[in-house]
Amino acid sequence: MSSYHLDHLQHLETEAIHIMREVAGEFERPALLFSGGKDSICLLRLAEKAFRPSELPLPLLNVDTGHHFPELNEFRDRRAAQLGAKLIVRTVEDAIARGIATPAPGEVSRNRLQIPTLLAAIEEFQFDCCIGGARRDEEKARAKERFFSFRDSFGQWDPKNQRPEIWNLYNGRLNPGENMRVFPLSNWTEMDVWEYIQRERLEVPSIYFSHQRRCVRRGGQWLPVSDLVPPKPSEEVRDLVVRVRTIGDIISTGCVESPATTVADIITEIAAARVTERGSRADDKASEAAMEDRKKAGYF
Amino acid sequence: MSHSATSPRPVDILRFNTCGSVDDGKSTLIGRLLYDSKSLMEDQIEALERSADITGGGQINLANLTDGLRAEREQGITIDVAYRYFATPRRKFIIADTPGHVQYTRNMVTGASSANLSIILVDARLGVIEQSRRHTAIAALLRIPHLVVAINKMDLVGWSEARFLEIRAQFEAFLPRLDIKDVKFIPLSALNGDNVVEPSPHTPWYAGPTLLGHLETVHIASDFNLTGFRLPVQWVNRPNSPTDAALHDFRGFSGQIAGGIVRTGQKLLAFPAGIVTTVKQIWTYDGVVDEAFCPQSVTLVLEHDIDISRGSMLVALDHLPGSSCDLQAEVCWMHTRPLQVGKKYFLKHTTHTVQVVVTELIDKLNMSTLDSEPAPAALAVNDIGEIKLRAARPLVFDGYATNRLTGSFILIEPGTNATVAAGMLRAPHDEFKPETADYVI
């Protein structure tokens, strides 16, 4: 093998760095969506690789549903501070209070309400581009997504009318009020993300690793017991050794029983896994087109 | 750089696309590759079974794996490029599933442009049809290094070797007119899995590899261009740190190497300034390195303080590009508003966007005959033709045949900002002559 060879992670890395720099070069006010989850942790490292030794030329933005795992928010704030990055947090709670987001009668999930909250933050800061950590392997509608995903002035995605992306030439031109979502990790899989975390020795929130947690059996999943998810008398409750594979809201993220305490353990576990990462997300199981419908409405 | 200590992981990425007509079984083939290589998870199979119950018949439809949007499932078609991922211990694979409808040729160009390999699906019952010729011509035009002709539904022609050879002969009749070097013919049945991952018992007359076997072993190491260094500057890296003196004066030029190799101390020519300078340092987040190569992303620090910004290009002195306002290119037209002579567009080439006017329509490719038809009135959506352009500022470029990254461009329509064309530049008439430049150091 020649010495001028890149392995699969190095290929994915250089592709993602190229996309980050295209964003910095073509947009006036970009932001990077950072939740503290594993995908956005990789995004931050890629931003460092793209822009150091300069400061990151874009702020971090997070939409806090109010149903986040506390470990996630703690990590989010700490990591942003370590990098000297500007972190902007906008909450669904506040969006509801200001009438920007309106829950349907009896609607507990904050998933849908993230959308108006995000769009209001984009409006407030006049962001013309948001970099997100979505991957095409996550879900069928995501598999049709471009690197540069054009959104109209309502934040909507039109899957039938996407801009063709040819070679590595991305068309970032916008009219006022329009917006771009950019996904540098499009070609990464769950395994690639963990291998990159391992190679780069990146810290991740503790809930990705095995820990003891009280869980309730609901909808075929183990949900973490919390103030938001109190067990009903009829439900089975157990203390389990679990970890989370994907982090959504605390009310909808299933825990998986796992002894994995290191990144290497997680990689071994994923290599042997027989269900997908999103198999533990109730928000995606709502219907076969659940993600497609949310994206058309402005979801990332 | 540390390396994974766990089980053997892929060492390479192969990007490929699949193309064929409606009902050639593209999505079924991809479903079969994923299913038989054990890349599908239980919840995905479960979702497939659920949709099989709804759409009736009760039989699992592997095409439902890739047809992700509601309209596609309802109409049983693929309306956009869908990307799929799987890995074997030898390679990671990125699949672009590109639709075969006539009106969606632009998506094939999108899916195929970055591919190492294209799979052209042919229905064994129908043989070569216009779509097969069109897809092969596009693959040739985009200079995809490797081609696989997958002759599918062999079970429906009784696994006939004679039929396989007949279709192969149909292809070989027009292949010499296209510039394709590596073509492999594989007889298979995607529905039943013959010769996809496992060798088929029905084709004792076929001695070649299975489709996956070929995808795992086809030689792709030389698919990137390592001759003639090119760095299109994406972003100027100026920390301007008030506290760190070393960083205060740091001025680097960040970009992804689009060709060749660069070393510390090497002399480079900076465009458009036309000034020769020297590489002082190759900076990366993981430390300073002595050399870097295509397609790595780096930041170069130079000896001289010259005017370089986004859209500039740094090139090696031994392989000089062309620099001209007059351009000739093959284009694939992607928009329903046709291409017209005299119209102005934005042209994005590497990191440089410039205004252009279309000055001449030279010819148009007839997809049925693969003949060129001179002086067409316009290029309509999905047409491929040769045009001349004049740019407001000179483009620094190579012919697409020499370098896919510095020889390609897109056209953007002002106002709508729609991407209306993919273009492949003809080689420059003359390479740039540094001695004619005004300010050579």
CATH assignment at residue A173? 3.40.50.620
Nearest alpha carbon to residue B349 among B284, B269, B405: B405
Note which residues in 144-183 of chain B have CB less than 8 A from chain A.
none
Question: B346 CB near a chain A CB, below 8 Å?
Answer: yes
Q: What is the mean pLDDT of residues B329-353?
A: 95
Whether A68 is covered by a domain: the verdict is yes
- Whether A292 sits inside 8 A of B68 (CB atoms) is yes
B89: burial class by Cβ within 10 Å (0-12, 13-18, 19+)?
Answer: exposed
Q: Is the pTM of this model over 0.90?
A: yes
A248 pLDDT band (50/70/90 cuts)?
A: confident
Tokens of A245: 């594979």
What is the structure's pLDDT at B247?
Answer: 82
Cis peptide leading into residue A53 (ω within 30°): yes
pLDDT in tens, A259-300: 999 999 999 998 887 677 766 665 555 555 666 666 666 666
ipTM for the predicted complex: 0.91
What is the structure's pLDDT at B389?
Answer: 97
B47 pLDDT band (50/70/90 cuts)?
A: confident
Q: What is the mean pLDDT of residues B270-274?
A: 92
Mean pLDDT, chain B, as a whole number?
87
Pairing status of strand B230-232 against strand B117-123: unpaired
Cβ atoms of A129 and A172 closer than 8 Å: yes
Cβ atoms of B269 and B228 closer than 8 Å: no
Whether A1 is covered by a domain: the verdict is no
Q: Residue A134 pLDDT > 90, yes or no?
A: yes
- Whether A52 sits inside 8 A of B285 (CB atoms) is yes
Residue B297, φ and ψ in degrees, nearest 5: -100, 125
Expressed as residue numbers, the domain containing A41 is 8-200+289-296
- Whether B295 sits inside 8 A of A14 (CB atoms) is yes
Question: Which residues have CB under 8 Å from B76's CB, separation 6+?
Answer: B63, B67
Domain B322-425 sits in CATH at 2.40.30.10
Strand-pairing partners, residue A276, are none
CA distance A224 to chain B (A): 21
Q: Residue A258 pLDDT > 80, yes or no?
A: yes
Q: Rounded distance, CA A58 to CA A73, Å?
A: 20
Alpha helices in B95-244 (DSSP H): 105-112, 130-141, 161-174, 211-217
Percentage of chain A modeled with pLDDT above 70: 91
Q: Rounded distance, CA B365 to CA B384, Å?
A: 6
Q: Rounded distance, CA B8 to CA A83, Å?
A: 33
Cis peptide leading into residue A70 (ω within 30°): no
Q: Which residue has the tokens 């972190």?
A: A87
Pairing status of strand A211-218 against strand B275-283: unpaired
Q: Rounded distance, CA A34 to CA A13, Å?
A: 18
Give, to the nearest 10 degrees, the angle between helix A38-51 and helix A8-26.
Answer: 70
Largest CA distance in chain B: 77
CA distance A91 to chain B (A): 31
What is the structure's pLDDT at A123?
Answer: 93
Give chain A's domain count. 2
Q: Residue B200 pLDDT > 90, yes or no?
A: yes
Q: Residue B20 pLDDT > 70, yes or no?
A: yes
Q: What is the mean pLDDT of residues A170-178?
A: 94
Tokens of B339: 């291409």
Q: Which residue of B has its CA nearest to A147?
A: B83
Q: Rounded distance, CA B426 to CA B158, Å?
A: 46
A1 pLDDT band (50/70/90 cuts)?
A: very low
pLDDT in tens, B141-155: 999 999 999 999 999
A153 pLDDT band (50/70/90 cuts)?
A: confident
Whether A259 is covered by a domain: the verdict is yes
Strand-pairing partners, residue B146, are B117, B182
Tokens of A94: 């506040």
Q: Which residue has the tokens 């996956």?
A: B212
Pick among A1, A144, A221 to test the B interface (most B CBs inside 10 A): A144
Question: B191 CB near a chain A CB, below 8 Å?
Answer: no
Residues A230 and A87 in one domain: no
Pick among A54, A55, A288 to test the B interface (most B CBs inside 10 A): A54
Q: What is the mean pLDDT of residues A150-179?
A: 89
Tokens of A82: 């370590």
Q: Would B230-316 and B322-425 be classified into the same CATH topology?
A: yes
A206 pLDDT band (50/70/90 cuts)?
A: very high
Q: Rounded distance, CA B294 to CA B314, Å?
A: 13
B6 pLDDT band (50/70/90 cuts)?
A: very low
Q: Which of B7, B252, B283 sits opposite A271 (nearest CB)?
A: B7
Terminal-to-terminal C-alpha distance of chain B: 38
**CA A200, chain centre distance (Å):** 19
Residues A235 and A168 in one domain: no
What is the structure's pLDDT at B441?
Answer: 44
What is the structure's pLDDT at A219?
Answer: 86
What is the structure's pLDDT at B79?
Answer: 59
CATH 2.40.30.10 fits B230-316, yes or no: yes
Q: Which residue has the tokens 């020499």?
A: B402
Residues A12 and A105 in one domain: yes
> HSE (CB half, 13 Å, CA atoms) of B267?
10
Residues A39 and A113 in one domain: yes
Q: Which residue has the tokens 């042919």?
A: B122
Query: Which one has a higher pLDDT value, A290 or A251?
Result: A251
Residues A149 and A124 in one domain: yes
- Work out how many CB contacts closer than 8 A connect A with B: 192
B34 pLDDT band (50/70/90 cuts)?
A: confident
Any idea which of A71-75, A226-230, A259-263, B183-187 has the lowest mean pLDDT?
A226-230
Question: B90 CB near a chain A CB, below 8 Å?
Answer: no
Residues A194 and A213 in one domain: no
Any idea which of A138-142, B108-112, B252-256, B299-303 has the lowest mean pLDDT?
A138-142
Query: Which one has a higher pLDDT value, B441 or B165?
Result: B165
- The domain ranges of chain B are 13-223, 230-316, 322-425
What is the structure's pLDDT at A65?
Answer: 92
Residues A126 and A106 in one domain: yes
Whether A28 is covered by a domain: the verdict is yes
A153: burial class by Cβ within 10 Å (0-12, 13-18, 19+)?
Answer: exposed
Residues A189 and A242 in one domain: no
* SS3 track for A1-41: CCCCCCCHHHHHHHHHHHHHHHHHHHCCCEEEECCCCHHHH
- Whether B9 sits inside 8 A of A8 (CB atoms) is yes
What is the structure's pLDDT at B75?
Answer: 58
Looking at residue A96, its amino acid is: I
Residues A154 and A36 in one domain: yes
Whether A2 is covered by a domain: the verdict is no
Whether A3 is covered by a domain: the verdict is no
Cβ atoms of B145 and B114 closer than 8 Å: no
Q: Which residue has the tokens 């400061």?
A: A55
B88: left (phi over 0), alpha (psi -120 to 50) or beta: beta
- Whether B80 sits inside 8 A of A195 (CB atoms) is no
Chain A residues with beta carbon closer than 8 angstroms to that of B85: 136-137, 187, 189
pLDDT in tens, B118-136: 999 999 999 998 888 888 9
Whether A217 is covered by a domain: the verdict is yes
Q: Residue B365 pLDDT > 70, yes or no?
A: yes
B73 pLDDT band (50/70/90 cuts)?
A: low
- Whether B12 sits inside 8 A of A8 (CB atoms) is yes
Chain B residues with beta carbon closer than 8 angstroms to that of A276: 41, 43-44
Residues A84 and A133 in one domain: yes
**CA B223, chain centre distance (Å):** 11
Q: Rounded distance, CA B108 to CA A213, Å?
A: 49
Residues A219 and A179 in one domain: no
Tokens of B257: 């190497």
Chain A residues with beta carbon closer than 8 angstroms to that of B297: 13-14, 17-18, 21, 49-50
Domain B13-223 sits in CATH at 3.40.50.300
Q: Rounded distance, CA B267 to CA B365, Å?
A: 42
Mean pLDDT, chain A, as a whole number?
90
Tokens of B107: 């998506």
- Whether B42 sits inside 8 A of A275 (CB atoms) is yes
Residues A249 and A186 in one domain: no
- What's the CA angle centered on B276, arms B275 and B278, to 5 degrees? 135
- What's the CA angle centered on B14, arms B107 and B85, to 5 degrees? 70
pLDDT in tens, B207-252: 999 999 999 999 987 777 889 999 999 999 999 877 887 788 899 9
pLDDT in tens, B294-313: 999 999 999 999 999 999 99
Q: Under DSSP, is residue B214 helix (H, G, I), strand (E, B) or coil?
A: helix
The highest-confidence range among B92-106, B212-226, B310-324, by mean pLDDT, is: B310-324
